[in-house]
Amino acid sequence: MEQVLQEDKAFNSIPTGKLGIWIFLIIDGLSFAAILIAAAYLRMNGAPWPHPGQVLNVPLTAFNTFVLLASSYTMMLALEHVRTGQQKKFIGALGWTLFLGALFLGVQSYEYYNFIAGTEEVRAHLAAAGLAGNYFRPGTSIYAGCFFGATGFHGLHVLSGLIFIMYVLAGALKGKFNQANHLRVETLTLFWHFIDLMWMLVFTVVYLL
């Protein structure tokens, strides 16, 4: 049955796929909000909270932030290229996004490794911040818990974003997407930007404030 649809002014007759991903993103954003608000609450409630620069590696993560920002831009380029029908450039931009996303995740894992293993550097930082212990693990303090909770949740999103990119990339290599048909790419773009958006919140709340 070909459906005859009731038109919908309130939503500009947005395609279902796009509406779906938007609603999903709003839902997901609420989870992030809950985690960040919980962290803020615990902090204002008096949990011991060192100044972030004392423990976390802010310069490295700042670099990471720029990486993610750049990936957002390349993703935008990919969408633009598929819209204008430039297959080669489209695939290239997608590849760049994949690379940048993977780089982000790699750096993040490196930082995690340092914290959990408790390298010399981390120990020095901890001592300087007046915190006990030789490593920085979720169970070390409420602060550490919030850090791992927020960044870990975000990291999982990056991971699923990467899988999504690979899936679309595979389709692109088979030539599935073209000027007329690229809703999947648009959904991917929305999801990837959302990850970037959430990182802005996480970065500010967890690393900078």
* Binding to other proteins in span 145-164, by CB under 8 A: 145, 149, 153
Select 16 or 120, whichever has its Cβ closest to other proteins.
16
Please state the separation of Cα 1 from the chain's center in Å: 40
Q: Backbone phi, then psi, for 181, in 5-degree steps?
A: -130, 95
Select 181 or 204, whichever has its Cβ closest to other proteins.
204
Q: Is 130 in the site for other proteins (CB under 8 A)?
A: no
For residue 164, count CB atoms less than 10 angstroms from its CB and return exposed for 0-12, middle for 13-18, buried for 19 or more: middle
Site for other proteins in 71-90 (CB under 8 A): 72-73, 76-77, 80
Q: Residue 198 CB, nearest distance to other proteins (Å)? A: 9
Q: Which stretch binds other proteins (CB under 8 A): 32-40, 107-115, 122-130, 171-179?
A: 32-40
| CA–CA separation, 10 and 128 (whole Å) | 55
Q: Is 128 in the site for other proteins (CB under 8 A)?
A: no
- Specify the DSSP element, H or E, that contains 75: helix 58-83
Residue given tokens 């920002």 in the structure block: 69
Q: Residue 15 CB, nearest distance to other proteins (Å)? A: 8
Q: Residue 182 CB, nearest distance to other proteins (Å)? A: 14
How many residues touch other proteins (CB under 8 A)?
A: 75
Q: Is 103 in the site for other proteins (CB under 8 A)?
A: no
Q: Which member of 56, 67, 69, 90 binds other proteins (CB under 8 A)?
A: 69
Q: Is 3 in the site for other proteins (CB under 8 A)?
A: yes
Q: Is 132 in the site for other proteins (CB under 8 A)?
A: no
Q: Which member of 95, 118, 138, 171 binds other proteins (CB under 8 A)?
A: 138
Q: Which member of 119, 141, 176, 177 binds other proteins (CB under 8 A)?
A: 141
Q: Backbone phi, then psi, for 183, in 5-degree steps?
A: -60, -40
Which residue type, as a one-letter code, is found at position 6? Q
Cα-only R_g, the chain:
20
| CA–CA separation, 43 and 133 (whole Å) | 20
Dihedral-angle region of residue 51 (phi above 0 means left; psi in -120 to 50 means alpha; beta otherwise): beta
